[in-house]
Structure 1
Amino acid sequence: MIQRAETEHSKELGCAKHLLLAIGSANVIGVSLPASLSSHAGPGAGQGRSVFFSDGVSRIRLTLDENSPVLIENSGETAVLTFDGPGGLISVEGFVEKTGCHCPKQAYITINEGCIFSCRYCNVPNLDKHIKTPDEIASLISDAVRRENVECISLTSGVVGTMQEEDERLFAILERVRPFGLPIGVSVYPTPGLSQRLFELGVSEVKFNLETATGKLFAEMCPSLDRDVLCNALKEAVGIFGKNRVYTNIILGLGESKAEMKQCITHCLENGVIPIIRPLTPSAQLSHFSRPLAEDILSISEFLQSELLRFGLDPSASKTMCAKCMGCDLTPMTDLHLGEVTP
């Protein structure tokens, strides 16, 4: 249990989210959580169960930890999140969300669990390898649709074979899941011409992850991958999918300077790509790293917000994947409450 401070402040989740992202965990007591398996994607893949807490506007994903300074008292229909903030105890009223697959309201599915690449921050290569078949994925989506109010299908994958094999596997899966009639998002390592084929197969949005703010950091963190391939694929995708439909994850806290992160954000937006700034979850070879400071998370997110407004782009228009979920990041237009982008 956390020690209650003398002063208690009630806040909207979005106003406290940068503080929570800097902590990254929560202890949940009360009504048992819905069944939730460890994730094979996203921050903390393979590191155990997590909880999604929402106040109806914002959402955060926190790793379950009985020793966490964040407490969620779950009564079933409602829940209260409390923790000691800079000015006293912060209390947020909300509820614990059920997940479709991986996150709320989405069938977010990892095709290949495992990866032949060994990016230093990623634990996926250490997981047991499993390749889901098109029928297996369709079954997972059917179950999610039946259980929850699933609004989209999101597909991601590690690489376990050749790039051609991965593309063909993805194409077969897309043919199998199109009949669900839901928006589809895809986040994979791109090959030349992939965006055009995905568009033809009914994909709504793509996310090709630059991962780092600089090319130098990318070479250090992802020595087996080519950042130029990603940059070119993102530019190509914008021309095919259009405005507010192309995204990229960039990890905050790998050793980049604030100026380098800001320069990367502006460069992405100049090319029509919406960057999602993902605070580092220390794992794999970076287990000794620290999570980014709350003030750094907030500062960079505010800069991203201002640049989105300047370039007329809006991640809240997303139909799929991370920008729709918002659980792992401080999200402009939603968490920061600075208004909507004008056309």
Structure 2
Amino acid sequence: MTAVDDGTTLGVAGLIMELQSLGLRLETRLETSRQGGAGPSDSGMLWIEGVPVTVPPSESSPYSLRAEDDGQGIYRDGIKLASVSGTARPRFYDLTTADGIPYHQIALLHLDSLASTVVQACNYWGNSDQCGFCGIGLSLAAGRTIAKKTPEMLAEVAVAAKELDGAVDATLTTGSSVAPDRGALYVARCGQAVKEAAGLPVEVQFEPPRDLTTIDQVHDMGVDALGIHVESFDPAVLARVAPGKFRTGIETYFRTWEHAVALFGEGRVSTYVILGMGEDPELTVQMCKRAVDIGVYPFVVPLRPVSGSLMQDVPAPSREYTEPIYRKVAGFLAERGLGAETAVAGCARCQACSSLNLVQHAGAPAPCGPTGSGAPGGAPLLQIGRRPA
């Protein structure tokens, strides 16, 4: 128990929302982090009071990570807020394939989840369609990964990650392809190989294919869950930050999700919903409810642009903005019986980039009232930075 946090999930959720908005100043070593790659998630990885979290390092944050005699702690104004367990460099990172490719260039361990972008290229990258928050081409240019991972490579690495470092699932994504299947069948073959070799639950992520029977083929390969990411439900935002997804159309995502849920089951199809790109919060909440109503898990996350991306200088949204949206979406999920546990694998299972699951299990109030800058239905989850009375 700490000076501010009373040990409840409510307190941890509030602190994590603050950290994911304001970042964390590092006064000691943080062993693992993610740089570049597909998606909006430059981050450091750690466990806060036993909760897996990714947070952006920030020299200007009022929150600091400090070394202690028996571990690490998060502090503000000299007051300890929470205990931290870091993540040691995964042991499988020191291995290489028979032809000399380091395992860490094939897949990374995100806390307890193995993750890989199987094709490190996207038809949106480097042109007017490039997604503003994404950095899929940056890690390849920096030499941190290879352009294409094979099913055999990923299966080999997955076995090592499970046996040496306790990986519990695998998340495989890919850049968007101009092919009719949008890359779905290749990433699914990779997922099939990982599942067969390592026995891990697997989520694969791809854009809506032109023919929905592609989803049937993916299902037949035995993967457990799908991520089909719209990124924003606000069409004006999509047109500005993800023009290719805008042309695909939000209704196409809904049609694809409905088909996928019929095959994979409720809660096993998810979509990223990024907050802080100028979206209409009321529309976002309404569309999240529509997604939940068909069995899709809207994985709501704060914007965290990759350094070097087109949106690298856009600040993360404040906790005052994200918390009421979390509360409302958490209420929808609770009513539908969906949660991280129904996701089985992938980002919605891991939850480290969001406070949504913490808010849900802390007992978010039933969704009602307007979405604004305050916390509807009650006081904020935690008053950060002051001692309790």
Q: For the superposition of Structure 1 and Structure 2, which TM-score range results when normalised by the shorter chain? A: 0.7 to 0.9
The equivalent residue for 1:18 is 17
Contact 1:210 1:250 in 2 (8 A): yes
Contact 2:184 2:206 in 1 (8 A): no
1:245-260 residue pairs with structure 2 within 5 A? 245-260=268-283
Contact 2:21 2:319 in 1 (8 A): yes
Q: 2:132 aligns with which of 120, 124, 132?
A: 120
The equivalent residue for 1:43 is 40
**CA distance, structure 2, for counterparts of residue 160 and residue 144 of structure 1:** 28
1:1-343 residue pairs with structure 2 within 5 A? 8-11=3-6, 12-29=11-28, 32-34=29-31, 36=33, 38-45=35-42, 50-56=44-50, 58-66=51-59, 68-75=61-68, 78-84=71-77, 89=79, 91-98=81-88, 101-117=108-124, 118-128=130-140, 130-159=147-176, 162-164=179-181, 166-179=183-196, 180-191=198-209, 192-225=212-245, 226-227=248-249, 228-283=251-306, 284-333=309-358, 337-338=362-363
Higher strand content, 1 or 2: 1
**CA distance, structure 1, for counterparts of residue 337 and residue 33 of structure 2:** 37
Contact 2:228 2:270 in 1 (8 A): yes
| CA separation of 1:293 and 1:68: change in aligned 2, threshold 3 A | closer
| CA separation of 1:28 and 1:113: change in aligned 2, threshold 3 A | farther
Contact 2:340 2:350 in 1 (8 A): no
**CA distance, structure 1, for counterparts of residue 87 and residue 156 of structure 2:** 22
Displacement of 1:74 after TM fit? 4.0
**CA distance, structure 2, for counterparts of residue 333 and residue 304 of structure 1:** 12
**CA distance, structure 2, for counterparts of residue 316 and residue 75 of structure 1:** 33
| CA separation of 1:28 and 1:204: change in aligned 2, threshold 3 A | farther
**CA distance, structure 1, for counterparts of residue 324 and residue 365 of structure 2:** 19
**CA distance, structure 2, for counterparts of residue 134 and residue 36 of structure 1:** 25
The equivalent residue for 2:144 is none
Aligned to 1:153, what secondary structure does the other structure show? strand
Q: Which runs of 5+ in 1 are unaligned?
A: 1-6
**CA distance, structure 1, for counterparts of residue 311 and residue 57 of structure 2:** 20
| CA separation of 1:239 and 1:168: change in aligned 2, threshold 3 A | closer
**CA distance, structure 1, for counterparts of residue 271 and residue 253 of structure 2:** 9
**CA distance, structure 2, for counterparts of residue 53 and residue 242 of structure 1:** 30
Aligned to 2:310, what secondary structure does the other structure show? helix
Displacement of 1:240 after TM fit? 0.8
The equivalent residue for 2:376 is none
Kindly provide the amino acid, as one letter, of the partner of residue 92 in structure 1. A
**CA distance, structure 2, for counterparts of residue 233 and residue 200 of structure 1:** 16
Contact 2:32 2:45 in 1 (8 A): no
Aligned residues: 326
The equivalent residue for 2:98 is none
**CA distance, structure 1, for counterparts of residue 365 and residue 166 of structure 2:** 26
| CA separation of 1:323 and 1:90: change in aligned 2, threshold 3 A | farther
Aligned to 1:95, what secondary structure does the other structure show? strand
- Judge which range, 124-133 or 105-114, deviates more: 124-133
**CA distance, structure 2, for counterparts of residue 74 and residue 95 of structure 1:** 11
**CA distance, structure 1, for counterparts of residue 68 and residue 349 of structure 2:** 26
Kindly provide the amino acid, as one letter, of the partner of residue 44 in structure 2. S
**CA distance, structure 1, for counterparts of residue 360 and residue 88 of structure 2:** 20
Displacement of 1:209 after TM fit? 0.7
**CA distance, structure 1, for counterparts of residue 140 and residue 292 of structure 2:** 37
Structure 1 vs Structure 2 CA RMSD? 2.8
| CA separation of 1:69 and 1:339: change in aligned 2, threshold 3 A | closer
Displacement of 1:251 after TM fit? 0.7
| CA separation of 1:309 and 1:36: change in aligned 2, threshold 3 A | closer
Percent identity reads 20
1:34-90 per-position Cα deviation (integer Å, ceiling 9, x unaligned): 455635244235xxx62323312x221123345543222245963211235xxx945
Contact 1:26 1:62 in 2 (8 A): no
Runs of 4+ in 1 over 6 A off after TM superposition: none
**CA distance, structure 2, for counterparts of residue 305 and residue 52 of structure 1:** 23
**CA distance, structure 1, for counterparts of residue 79 and residue 4 of structure 2:** 6
| CA separation of 1:263 and 1:37: change in aligned 2, threshold 3 A | closer
Displacement of 1:156 after TM fit? 0.9
Q: Give the TM-score normalised by the residue count of structure 1.
A: 0.84
